[in-house]
Amino acid sequence: MNTDTLIKKIEEQINNFEATLDVVEFGIVQSIGDGIARVSGLSQCEASEMIEFEDGSIGVALNLEEDTVGIVVLGDYLGIHEGDKAKRTGKILSLPVSNDIIGRVVDPLANPIDGKGEISIDKQQLIERVAPGVMAREPVSVPLQTGIKVVDALVPIGRGQRELIIGDRQTGKTAVAIDTIINQKGQNIKCVYVAIGQKKSKVMRIVKKLEEAGAMEYTTVVLAGASDSSALQYIAPYAGVAIAEYFLDKGEDVLVIYDDLTKHAAAYREISLLLRRPPGREAYPGDVFYLHSRLLERACRLNEEYGGGSITALPIIETQGGDVSAYIPTNVISITDGQIFLEAGLFNKGIRPAISVGLSVSRVGGAAQKKSMKKTAGPMKLALAQYRELESFAQFGSDLDSQTKKALDHGRKSVELLKQKQYSPISLAKQVASIYALNNSLLDDIKFEDILDWEIGLYKFLEMSKGDILKSISEKWDDDIIGKLEQAIKEYNDSFNI
Amino acid sequence: MIDSKTLAETLLKFSTSDDAEKKINNFFYYLEKKNLLSFLPQIKRYLLQKQKSSEHFNTLYIRSRFSLYWEDIEEIIRIIGVTKDAPVEFIQDENIIGGFQVIYKEKIYDGSLFHKIDQFENTLIQS
């Protein structure tokens, strides 16, 4: 705002000054501790209303009881004392958003924490909002390319889908999410990465990586770290989806990653126990399912009448000892439209990303795949399934018949081809090219140890001398393109085998 | 579960009912019989707090930058609808800059200049 506008606003205020009375309801703090304030009075207080304390801190009214209101303080509560006044603001919890929030690291109240200055405000977005109704939605049919071969081929994700990333600690869950963000460059998709209860050092490494890859130009990071209060960790995912909804309302596509919802459930458990809500299974409150269902239902694809935008959600859940039948994992599995299951065993064997093809599923499936990938990935999925069945027989070596040996060899090469380095997303066309080669026995003469080198060489070859084929694969898939692609791969193979 | 707050609330209810004296005597007899006399100090503390907050609740607090005439205070009492016998406490406070602020029964009626400037600051920030 420039000086002239400022002066005009001040003059306007002076001219329109009226000696009016503003009436605000207040209560008295009865007790304060562990981030929870119990306030008497506030008889007209609404659920999730923001309450302002005398020291300026803000809380959210979560428990409306007979005599008191249980308020969760957002931020530092040490400045609040017994006997202080707590005023109603009349506002439900919301955060200020605008286009300038892109590229920034913010806390769950949209306060910038990256030291790059203030963020302008376009509107106040409600943190809790009812999910779009059935008639406003459109079926998921547009793919969201992650750039990860095994995901795009075998567990495809569509725009508007909820795909869970689940696995033990240190299995590469965040790596899958970050690679997906990096691959959205140039796709006109905004990304929101919500870090819940994470180490701030880890989040800073992620931000740095995104900056190096140029991904921060379209990404917002919402951070409620391990040292932040459980109240901030509780609202962080809702803040993330509220930011996403700001862009959804403009008809844009958004990707939201919640890393991770296990810590979110633990933060909510802590708040609920402090509010003396009755504990249920594993001490979680009875509405822990609703905690995640109302969050994930806000991911959707809207029809043209409502703008045609979408929010794709990739929630992350951490399991203990690979137990997917635990309480929170089963809750979230039942909500989402599929899961990507990462196994520690595969990770330790060097198969990275450590995605278990047998246990991973996408309920949207081929509807979220381009024709070229759909036609190519089918045979590969079958081959991998056969390989899993026959894998235990591999130890018998020479006692096996030729067909079984062939299936095993094909399966091993499939697994090897699906390996991928971190921060190295691969375009759809290149993925189709390499998988096509595998399916059509064009890798039979390539040694197992040379597969990854072969793959790198193929991509370079296609980029440099067959760029038109790559472009065509992205747009259509017919006999003409298949013929050209096969010819190109054979030409490359001849030069590779020299 | 028996706690001092429940016992204190029960005692308050008895004190406003018919044959209050008999009920209160029975109440103390009950405490003695059930070995709950140790709750008495906490019950007393709770009732004192309640009395204090009730007094505070029914008192009209007026903050003003300058002294007010009694007619002005009566006008405020009339506008807000304060009960006849409610105690009035006047506080001269330079921090509100101008105008006045009234606190009565869980409501703040803010007509101070400080509040107006605060609102204006928020408007400018949001612009």
Interface touch A24/B126, C-beta < 8 Å: no
Interface touch A22/B53, C-beta < 8 Å: no
**How far B111 CA sits from the closest chain A CA (Å)?**
5
Residue A13 has pLDDT above 90, yes or no: no
The answer to whether the predicted template modeling score (pTM) of the entire model surpasses 0.90 is no
For A390, the token pair is 């026959």
d(C-alpha B119, C-alpha B114), whole Å: 9
Beta bridge partners of A301: A310
- Residue that has been written with the tokens 């990938």 in this structure: A373
What digits encode the pLDDT tens for the residues A379-428? 888 888 888 888 776 666 667 788 888 888 888 999 999 999 999 999 99
The pLDDT score that the predictor gives to residue A397 is 61
Chain A residues 46-85 with CB within 8 Å of chain B: 85
**How far B94 CA sits from the closest chain A CA (Å)?**
18
Residue A1 has pLDDT above 70, yes or no: no
**How far B99 CA sits from the closest chain A CA (Å)?**
8
**How far A29 CA sits from the closest chain B CA (Å)?**
12
**Pairs across A and B, CB distance < 8 A:** 46
The pLDDT score that the predictor gives to residue A41 is 87
Q: How far apart are the first and last CA of chain B?
A: 54
Beta bridge partners of A97: A123
Contact B65, B93 (CB under 8 A): yes
A23: contact with B, CB 8 A cutoff:
yes
Q: What percent of chain A is predicted at pLDDT more than 90?
A: 74
Q: Which of A2, A15, A18, A21 to mutate to test the interface with B (most CBs of B within 10 A)?
A: A21
Residue B83 has pLDDT above 80, yes or no: no
pLDDT band at A184 (very low <50, low <70, confident <90, very high): very high
Q: Which of B104, B106, B117, B122 to mutate to test the interface with A (most CBs of A within 10 A)?
A: B106
For A280, the token pair is 């249920």
pLDDT band at A11 (very low <50, low <70, confident <90, very high): confident
The pLDDT score that the predictor gives to residue A199 is 95
Contact A109, A74 (CB under 8 A): yes
d(C-alpha A350, C-alpha A366), whole Å: 28
Where is mean pLDDT largest: A121-125, A159-163, A399-403?
A159-163
The type of residue at A498 is: I
pLDDT band at A445 (very low <50, low <70, confident <90, very high): confident
The partner residue sitting opposite A13, judged by closest CB among B107, B109, B120, is B120
Q: What is the ipTM of this complex?
A: 0.72
Residue A498 has pLDDT above 60, yes or no: no
The residues of A annotated with a catalytic role in the active site are 363
Interface touch B108/A6, C-beta < 8 Å: no
What digits encode the pLDDT tens for the residues A217-231? 999 999 999 999 999
A385: contact with B, CB 8 A cutoff:
no
- Which residue is closest to B76 within chain A, CA to CA? A21
Q: Which of A102-116, A433-447, A464-478, B112-126 has the lowest mean pLDDT?
A: B112-126
d(C-alpha A295, C-alpha A220), whole Å: 18
A91: contact with B, CB 8 A cutoff:
no
Residue numbers in A near B107 (CB within 8 A): 23-26
For residue A63, the SS3 value is strand
pLDDT band at A346 (very low <50, low <70, confident <90, very high): very high
Q: What percent of chain A is predicted at pLDDT more than 70?
A: 98
Contact A391, A405 (CB under 8 A): no
Q: Which of B9, B63, B77, B108 to mutate to test the interface with A (most CBs of A within 10 A)?
A: B108
Residue B1 has pLDDT above 60, yes or no: yes
Residues in CB range of A216: below 8 A, 6 or more apart: A103, A207, A210
What digits encode the pLDDT tens for the residues A267-280? 999 999 999 999 99
The partner residue sitting opposite B111, judged by closest CB among A20, A27, A43, is A20
Contact A142, A262 (CB under 8 A): no
**How far A49 CA sits from the closest chain B CA (Å)?**
17
Spacing of C-alpha A334 from chain mean position: 17
The pLDDT score that the predictor gives to residue A220 is 97
Give the domain ranges of chain B: 4-52, 63-126
Q: Is the peptide bond before A168 cis (omega within 30 degrees of 0)?
A: no
Q: How far is CA A184 from CA A151, A210, A241, in A?
A: 15, 11, 18
The type of residue at A411 is: G
What digits encode the pLDDT tens for the residues A293-320? 999 999 999 999 999 999 999 999 999 9
What digits encode the pLDDT tens for the residues B22-65? 999 999 999 899 888 889 999 998 888 888 777 778 888 898 88
Interface touch A24/B108, C-beta < 8 Å: yes
